[in-house]
Chain A
Amino acid sequence: MVVGSLRLWKAIPERATSLETARRPRFSLSLLLQALAIVLLTSALASPFLRTLLPAKREITVVVDTSARLQARGDRGGTRFEEGMRLLLREASRLTERDSVTLLWDEGGVHSATITGAELPSALKGISPIESRVNLDLFLSARDRESELWLLSDQLPPDKEALFFPATGPVSNTGIDLLSLDSGELFVRLIRTGGASDLTLEILVEGVSSRTIPLRVKEGRNSWQGSLEVSESHLVEVRILEEDSFPLDNRAWLNRGLVDSGVRYFGREHALLLRVLQSIPGVVLGGVGYTVVYREARPFSNPAIYVDPPEAPKGFQFGSEFSPKRWHSDDHPLLENVRMEEMGASSAKPVTGGVPFLFADGVCVGAVLGRTIVLGFDLPSSGWCTTPSFPIFWTNVFEFVRTSNVWNTIRAGVPIRGEDVVFQEVGERTFRGRTVGVSLLDSHESVLRRAPTLVPSKSSSGDMSAGQKPLSVYASVIALCLIILSWWSDRSGR
């Protein structure tokens, strides 16, 4: 009998039954079904089979790792990829037309092909590595678990039964994995494998060498930072002059002014401010580019506008609060068309540091340093925030900090932010009529390791002797049906 809730019934203790009732065994269909299911599952584990007259065909999933780092030099002079492919082709030549192969690889998008074993060698010859990272887990999780797995990679497959074709080679490599240029400061991060080394960094501005820097790099992460004059240029390249086993990560580029700025918002919610930010043309709330921090202490490495923060950001200092009466500015672009008589706040803090642009009672309450702006007063929900000057000021802020001064990197295989464009190859390309640099910039691809050796067991890879039909699957399916029947039997109370 179905009831609304068992809550009250469960609180009532079960009455002890009479001895006679307890002694008499009750037939339970559910118990019988469960017992049959256990017997079948146990049988399935023993891998029963029927002898057949026809030889069993092989079902194989071949996953080819086309990650950029497999272009690194292999042990025998070619690339790592060529090393692994040589071994894979040798094994593939043993397959026949009866064998069924699912081939999975990434070539700037996921590709798959279902072919016969005889077609595999020619299909493999058309595959080559790409110049970005491949998510191998995607292929390994998508494959048919019943099939044999063959993997060409420098990383081990998830199970020991797989046939592994190692793409291996020397590990000595230095790669550039991060670049940034802001307010005339260039930051370069390098990742090194294969022990400490000496190298030379060259910086080129619009293709012309600007400076060279000798560096000693240790195993792991290293960095270099320095000033760079780039006033009228749009392309900066950083390259490692010394050749190593993987040249693709030895060059990286910064490009000026590619994308519109996004804005990230942190701190307390201010409904009017959020509404204005959402309405500024070309600005995407939630995108990456500029940061607005409202009444929160938050250290940032990127420039931001801080509105009434509890502590002064780096490069600024606050004085004692006062009640501002009269506001004025010195004709700064941030305050163009902003009417001073519409400005107002109940209290303000003097701001020192940076370039002052807004004053109250003769005291600086708004200053800018590079692309970091600090306002030393709150935004009341009435007053200034409801006047036309408020959206005008914020439009000015984004004009002031916008794209013409932003340097971005473009990574191979990754869409350009805000655009529907993906460059698949590293190097200099044309985008919107100008030259841009496309970089690898991926520490995952710059860290080279030796591929381990994996020896599968004799009973691995699902080899079945010709003429045997496996019954494990059937036994397992029947057991599952019995379990479902048992559950249904319990539910219906029979």
Chain B
Amino acid sequence: MQFVRRIISKCAIPLATLLLILSMQAGMASAATKAATTLQSAAKSLSQANDINASAAFLRQLQRAGKLASSVHVLSSLGQTTIVQFALVPSGIKQAFPNATGLVTIVRGDRNNAFSDTTIVDVQHMPPNITFTIFYIELANKPFGNVEYVADLTTRGDGSGETIFQNIAFVAFAMDARNPGTSTDGQEGITSGINLEHMGMWFSSLQAAQKVLNNPSLQGTLFDAGNPPLHAGPQAMTDGQTLPVF
């Protein structure tokens, strides 16, 4: 008995320390497990919430209903962000540059907090070293209707080029405030003005177009700013769709 007492009295402190360490480890392990479970459930709920991007789902619904061009691809994206992609195909340059391609990506941020949309135009196999203008337009093909000049794109020597610009794309519209009128936006319903839901690229210079396309009888168009009037060339690329692409 004395032997036991001696052992207890001598080893009391180390034993207590050992017990304390063991209990702390057990506590930490249970806390870690709890934290992991909480994180997992949070991630799960977050993932569930993000699985439903109402805006993207709505666009896909419009596409199924035949109200958005079939050439539009609605990308999977986190809620509040909507990303669409569509191709541009050669129009005025089809014969001379049949392999020309353009990919347009439009990113819309949170509609409550974003200042503008972001549009990326990426082209390949185009006429080299030429400046093209980019317009939002009412109609994809002639007579194109109301238009908005948004940016330029200058190709490199290999016919590739890209540009990124930040302005209003998804709800772009043209209007004369003296008589704004209304039109039906593919995604929004009735809106003010005339919706611009197509995109095209034009030769910024008629002379360049005549040279590149080897056709001196090409007519000037209004698809560039500045003096003189009608100094731009023909449409080079189009989304080619009847239904809206954005």
The answer to whether A and B belong to the same complex is: no
